[in-house]
Amino acid sequence: MTVDDFRRIALSFDGAEESSHMEQPDFRVGGRIFATLASASQGYGNLMLTLEQQTAFVEELPEVFFPIAGGWGRMGMTHIRLAAAPEDVLHGALHAAWKLRVEKNARSKSGARTSPGKTKPSLGKRREATPKRRKKR
């Protein structure tokens, strides 16, 4: 598959739009990213998956999928080697990322928790508003 194939398939999903983040193409649904082409120069597409999805994809097709390095990869962000991915695999992986984003968007609209079984992180004690200081001239 190619970058053009990735783009064509990503945009085939209901509500998907192409935008950009840090001057790199991304694909969004409901204004939120589900995939990017930030690593296209290396021959990769990037998918926003859960850790469970990432693990399953990497275990099944390690020649096609691997975690993005660092913290992003530890959160489920996954590279797909475009040249090694058959169309049905690319379509299925992009669909999984798109569907996950649609579900997260629906949960956030309904006020439901952001992740099943997890609560939103707390910032600790509520800080009282303090007046802003004026600059001395």
Token pair recorded at residue 105? 């968007």
Closest C-alpha among 35, 136, 131, 38 to residue 91:
35
Q: Is the pLDDT of residue 42 over 80?
A: yes
Name the class of domain 3-110: alpha beta
Give the E-state strand segments of the chain in sequence order: 16-21, 24-29, 32-36, 44-48, 65-67, 77-81
- Enter the pTM of the model: 0.80
- Other beta carbons within 10 Å of 11: 12
- Of the two residues 47 and 118, the one the predictor is more confident about is 47
Token pair recorded at residue 129? 């508003």
Collapse the DSSP code of 28 into the 3-class scheme (helix H, G, I; strand E, B; otherwise coil) and give the result: strand
- Of the two residues 117 and 110, the one the predictor is more confident about is 110
Q: Which residue ranges make up each domain of the chain?
A: 3-110
pLDDT value of position 81 = 98
Collapse the DSSP code of 61 into the 3-class scheme (helix H, G, I; strand E, B; otherwise coil) and give the result: coil
Which residue in the block uniquely carries the two structure tokens 């970058």?
3
Per-residue pLDDT tens over the stretch 46-100: 999 999 999 999 999 999 999 999 999 999 999 999 999 999 999 999 999 999 9
Average pLDDT of the chain?
A: 86
